[in-house]
């Protein structure tokens, strides 16, 4: 197996068994973002306490890249200070996906990132 094959296995694992899937009952805020071109949709539910993203869950539908990146991103940011999360660059999310994506599919990968940043915009 090449490194790419291993990474694809990891993406499929997140796609088939997404981490942090669902909705938080006492959420602080939530956001739904979609890519109208392909119908990829993500709904994030966030619990923020004392400037910290205590919990984050998502529900979604779409291609493996969009869903796996959401799953990976929730693992990556959960528990961290909001101010810290806001400094994350899109390249980090592409790095989590870890395989070469064409420009069209980068949009799939960054749907989660864009949604999260939009949801966090009003918070410090």
Partner 1 sequence: MINALTIKKDFPIFSRKIDGRPIIYLDNAATTQKPRQVVEAIVNYYYNFNSNIHRGIYRLSEEATDLYEKSRENVEGFIGAGKDGTVVFVRNATEALNLVAAEYSRNLEPGDEVILSTMEHHSNLVPWQFLQEKGVVLKFVDLTPDWELNMDQLETLLTPRTKVVSITHVSNVLGTINPVKEIGKMAHENSAIFVLDGAQSVPHMPVDVSTIGCDFMAFSGHKMLGPSGIGGLYGRKDYLDHMHPYMGGGEMIKQVWKEHATWNDVPQKFEAGTPNIEGAIGLSAAVDYLRNLGMENVRSHERELIGYALELEEDLKIPGLRSYGPRNLDVRGGVYTFNIGDIPTFDLEMEMMSRGIRITGNGIHPHDVAQSLDRDNIAVRSGHHCAMPLMNELGVAATSRASFYIYNAREDVEKLFDGIRMTERAYAK
* Sequence-separated (6 or more) residues with CB below 8 Å from residue 121: none
Q: Closest separation between CB of residue 39 and partner 1, Å?
A: 3
Q: Interface with partner 1 includes 83 (CB under 8 A)?
A: no
If we measure between CA atoms, which residue out of 63, 64, 60 comes closest to residue 7? Answer: 64
By rule CB under 8 A, what count of residues binds partner 1? 27
Q: Of 25, 37, 89, 121, which lies in the binding site for partner 1, with binding defined by CB under 8 A?
A: 37
First to last CA, the chain: 43
Rounded to a whole number of angstroms, the minimum distance from the CB of residue 50 to partner 1 is 27
Residue 69 CA to residue 48 CA, distance in Å, equals: 21
Binding status of residue 62 toward partner 1 by CB under 8 A: yes
CB 67 to partner 1: min, Å: 7
Angle, in degrees to the nearest 10, between helices 64-77 and 90-97: 120
CA dist., res. 80 & res. 85, Å (int):
7
CB of 11 to partner 1, least distance (A): 10
Question: Interface residues with partner 1 (CB under 8 A)?
Answer: 12, 15-18, 21-23, 32, 34, 37-41, 43, 59-65, 67, 104-105, 108
């Amino acid at each position: 197996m090449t490194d790419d094959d291993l990474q694809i296995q990891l993406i499929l694992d997140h796609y088939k068994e997404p981490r942090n899937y669902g909705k938080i009952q006492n959420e602080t805020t939530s956001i739904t973002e979609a890519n109208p071109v392909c119908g990829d949709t993500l709904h994030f539910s966030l619990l923020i306490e004392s400037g910290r993203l205590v919990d984050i869950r998502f529900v979604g539908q779409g291609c493996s890249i969009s869903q796996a990146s959401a799953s990976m991103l929730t693992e990556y940011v959960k528990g961290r200070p909001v101010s810290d999360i806001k400094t994350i660059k899109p390249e980090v999310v592409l790095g989590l996906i870890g395989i070469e994506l064409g420009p069209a599919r980068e949009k799939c990968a960054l749907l989660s990132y864009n949604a999260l940043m939009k949801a966090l915009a009003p918070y410090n």
